A and B are shown apart, each in its own frame.
Chain A
Amino acid sequence: MAVIHDVMPAFELFQPASISDAVTLLNRYGSDAWVMAGGMDSFDWLKDRIKRPSVVVDLSQVQGIRGIKEQNGGLEIGAATTLTEIATSVTVRDRFGLLAEAAGLVASPQIRNQGTIGGNVSQDTRCWYYRSGWSCYRAGGNICYADTPTAINREHAILDADRCVAVNPSDTAPALVALDAQMVIVSSRGERLVNAEDYFIGPGTDITRMTVLAPGELLTAIRIPATWGGAQFYFEKARDRNVWDFPLLNVAAAARYSGQAFESIRVVVNAAAARPLRLHAVEAAVVGKPRNDQTADLAGQIAIQGAQPLRYNGYKIPLMRNLVKRAIRGDRGGSWTS
């Protein structure tokens, strides 16, 4: 009898009710355990039978990791908070509209209803060579099938590729980096805080992971400091279709002005590399300069320095240049949201 593709391989399912129970399970099973929040990424892997964990820890029943609360002038968002809850939260929209807008552009309404912020930032890459189960670098092998002369690599990386050319597909990740968020990670050793900028890692650091989350660790919350509350924000996502699609590229920016000039700014792009890239050189170049075409042109040129196209993704370089230009200029009707 032929194998039915959609039947998941057997695993032991745990549904802990508390963070400590979840951490105990993750500690007990280590790399054999698969953490599942909304299941949007997990079920793909499991139904395709590419990942075959012996244990799945379902976080849906865990108390204390869902919801949005104000904290020290900022926010603490539980990792299991759905993307719809974030996109529609008045609290988030009022002060951190960048995140609300990013969350509202993820995939489709159904997916946003089920998908969580923790899952969105911790999801695996969409590289289909990797997701097809071939033993590429990211899967522990010794080749990148997406970076060969005949590879189909339209969605792949133009920056910071290191053997693997997969990209991070998250929409909320660049927004969180722009907002200087912190990720709360709990393990049997206690709690640690990691800046969102450092939460995501490229293949040069660890080719088999997208984040610093190690086996046994659990992302429980995301803290957004008051720093950028009420600032001016810009988020734009370029994609092939207007719904239910991953970004070809996205850009998130948070800025404050002094008169007509940028006083401070954070600009982040995603889907250009295996992690969201904060454009430090762009930020340094535009601070103190007015928001106009000249500054935007400069920013766009700086943004793409060092970009290396693959066979089919050369379009990403002008796309990134233009997205950054638009972010600096404040396009889409000429205004930033705040």
Chain B
Amino acid sequence: MDFVRWGLNPWGQNILEHVSWTLFWASLFAGLMFLVAHGSYMLLSAHRKRPEAETDRLEAAHANLPQKIQRHSGAARAFHWVMAAAMFVLLFTAFLPVVGVKFAWVKWHWIAGLVLIGSIVFHILHASFWLDFWSIWVGPKDIPEFKAEIMRELGHDMPGPKSGKYPLGNRLYHLAIVFAGLGAAISGLLMMSRIRTPIFSRNPYLFGDAAWGFTYVLHGVAGVGLVGLVIAHVYFAVRPEKWWITKSMIFGMITRRQYLEHHEPDRWRVAANQPSSRT
């Protein structure tokens, strides 16, 4: 199985062209297999939920918190859905032709790419100045939570720490999407210099063959990676036990009980009687 495609330039040199579409099928297969495996595990395993009584106690202890707590501001939700729409357009325009659905896809692809890049820039600025920038990242501090999560998934009762604003899975996913998304976005922006757009002057000689080959491969690897990541994301978004998170991305709010059940008040501080947005 070839992972990349090689070609021949006018000087008779072998040049890297792009990833083999075999990788697309591999990513699609991996994404679907993960979905099947996780779904089966959740059906058959001794997956543990935290005891109801524990949440009851917490709710009694935090009665001063508002009934509804803001999890995502309007700007954050707008970013998320604009980015999601752009991502779907990008993936469908990129891969439908690969699976045999032929249409003029390039213009839609780069337009969606620019929308995605615009939304990423907005997100970076918004997260840097209006949100708690570090709340989404993972680091050594999360190791106890990671251990506790794994043990709970394996059916053990673990009192271990809950997450801050974002569950560990969310943060790990965000990390993966940052690498794949930025890889696709930056390489895609460079690749726009090879096509005709009203935005850039065409300059196919911006790089040499080797650098272009690397750019195309990076774009391809990031693209096929995003296929698997998006499948996983959509899967978790529609899973019943995660639906409260999905709803919060639509309506912005979660209940006090959900906040106390899933989050560590010390790691995601919500002021009493006022919604939290700067976290």
Contacts and interface: CB of A to CB of B under 8 A. Distances in A.
A161 interface: yes
Contacts of B107: 204
B204 A143 contact: yes
Nearest to A139: B7
A246 to B, nearest CB: 23
B97 interface: yes
B18 interface: yes
5 contacts: A141-B17, A142-B194, A204-B104, A204-B105, A205-B102
Interface residues of B, number: 24
B10 A134 contact: yes
A135 B7 contact: yes
B156 interface: no
B204 A161 contact: no
Contacts of B105: 204
Interface in B192-219: 194-196, 202, 204-205, 212-213, 216
A132 B7 CA distance: 13
Nearest to B215: A142
B191 to A, nearest CB: 8
Interface stretch (A64-72, A75-83, A145-153): A145-153
Interface of B: 5, 7-10, 15, 17-18, 97, 102-107, 194-196, 202, 204-205, 212-213, 216
Given A135-B9, A139-B7, A206 B17 contact: no
What 10 A-B pairs come out closest when comparing CB atoms? A135-B7, A204-B104, A141-B7, A205-B102, A206-B102, A142-B216, A141-B17, A148-B204, A142-B17, A205-B104
Given A134-B8, A163-B195, A147 B104 contact: no
Interface in A118-143: 129, 132-135, 139-143
A163 B195 CA distance: 6
Contacts of B9: 134-135
A140 B7 contact: yes
Main secondary structure of the interface of A (DSSP, over half): loop
A243 B212 CA distance: 42
B194 A143 contact: yes
A144 interface: yes
Given A140-B17, A143-B194, A163-B106, A133 B204 contact: no
A24 interface: no
Contacts of B196: 161-162, 308
Contacts of B5: 140
B212 A143 contact: yes
A229 interface: no
Task: Output the residue of A129, A133, A135, A148 with the most chain B CB within 10 A.
Answer: A135
Given A132-B10, A135-B9, 4 more contacts: A134-B7, A140-B7, A147-B202, A162-B104
B15 A135 contact: yes
Contacts of A308: 196
B194 A163 contact: yes
Nearest to B10: A134
B89 to A, nearest CB: 16
A202 B15 contact: no
Interface in A144-171: 144-145, 147-149, 161-163
Most buried by B among A132, A134, A143, A205: A143
Given A135-B8, A142-B216, A147-B202, A162 B106 contact: yes
A142 B104 contact: no
A22 to B, nearest CB: 22
A135 B106 CA distance: 19
A149 B205 CA distance: 9
Contact of B18 (A134, A142, A147, A161): A142
Contact of A147 (B8, B15, B204): B204
A201 interface: yes
A217 to B, nearest CB: 13
A135 B212 CA distance: 13
B108 to A, nearest CB: 10
Contacts of B213: 142
Nearest to B18: A142
Interface in A81-137: 129, 132-135
A144 B104 CA distance: 17
B103 A205 contact: yes
A254 to B, nearest CB: 27
Nearest to B9: A134
A194 to B, nearest CB: 13
Nearest to A165: B196
A198 to B, nearest CB: 11
Contacts of A139: 7
Contacts of A140: 5, 7, 17
